[in-house]
Copies of this chain bind each other. A is one copy, B any other.
């Protein structure tokens, strides 16, 4: 039997809004560690990894490891019916082919049960090794989102270049070119507005803006986003989920276009 009670139910609502565009169907894995998901996007280019640790739930009962296949669009439809202040409980009986989402309003006046059919989904769990990155940028998630959206009005790809002074986002398209530089800034009053760069060596990589824009749908989860870059590795775009976990998006750099645009 599975019963996971999340007091801040809005987090689960935001998680679904963040990934439902990228991933159509996926297995949610429940174990003693937590509630997690790993899935490729439907064009098999980007990878999403979600973890909500068991400690973050008010109540976490998971008698045995369970993998539940869900259609994320349908799951998002149901979670949209939860109020922003509702407590959400995820329930499933052993061997059941359904999962139940229970929404309790803060004053307990309104209780909703949404039962959704589960699906059988083939999936491989990829082992993602811990890596050293050449550069790690931490910046306001709203700023990163704005930059990706702005550059999309000019071009299709973004070159992210990191130096000690700052991070530069560049694009080019039919109507012209654009460069946006964000300087390192550790001294702001509000830590959520800081931009911090940890750099081993300068790095410059090219990515499809379409995916970057999808990733930024997770911005409501966190004030800050962390972008980890290395020449030989997929970029990791990470949004923390309160104290209880994270969403990480992985995307391989575009090799040829990078060279062309640098030329």
Does chain B have a CB within 8 A of A258? no
Contacts of A111 in B (CB 8 A): 180-181, 183
Shortest distance in angstroms between A153's beta carbon and chain B's nearest beta carbon?
5
A110 at the binding interface (Cβ < 8 Å)? yes
A210 interface hit (Cβ, 8 Å): no
A177 cross-chain contacts in B, Cβ below 8 A? 114-115
B78 & A178 in contact (Cβ 8 Å cutoff): yes
| A77 to B, closest residue via Cβ | B153
Interface size on A, residues (CB 8 A): 34
Interface string of A142-176 (1 = CB under 8 A from B): 01000000110110000000000000000000011
- A42: Cβ under 8 A from any B Cβ: no
A41-82, CB < 8 A from B: 71, 74, 77-78, 80-81
**Is A219 engaged at the interface, CB distance under 8 Å to the other chain?**
no
- CB-CB < 8 A to A80: which residues of B? 150, 153
Q: How far is the CB of A59 from chain B (nearest CB, A)?
A: 21
Please pick, from B81, B107, B175, B178, the residue contacting A112 in the complex, using a CB distance under 8 A: B178
CA gap between A113 and B150 in the complex, in Å: 12
| Copies per complex of this chain | 3
Chain A, 17-38, CB within 8 A of any chain B CB = none
Q: Are B143 and A175 in contact (CB under 8 A)?
A: no
Q: CB of A116 within 8 A of chain B?
A: yes
- A123 at interface, CB cutoff 8 A: no
Among B78, B143, B185, point to the contact of A154 (Cβ < 8 A).
Answer: B78
B71 near A178 with CB under 8 A, answer no
Contact with B along A177-195 (1 / 0, CB 8 A): 1111111010000000001
> With a CB–CB cut-off of 8 A, which chain B residues contact A182?
109-110
Q: Which residues of B contact A71 (CB under 8 A)?
A: 175
7 A-B residue pairs with Cβ-Cβ distance under 8 Å, sorted by A, are A71-B175, A74-B176, A78-B153, A80-B150, A110-B143, A114-B177, A115-B178
- Give 9 A-B pairs besides A77-B175, A110-B182, A116-B176 with Cβ atoms closer than 8 angstroms: A71-B175, A77-B154, A81-B178, A98-B176, A111-B180, A111-B183, A113-B178, A113-B180, A114-B176
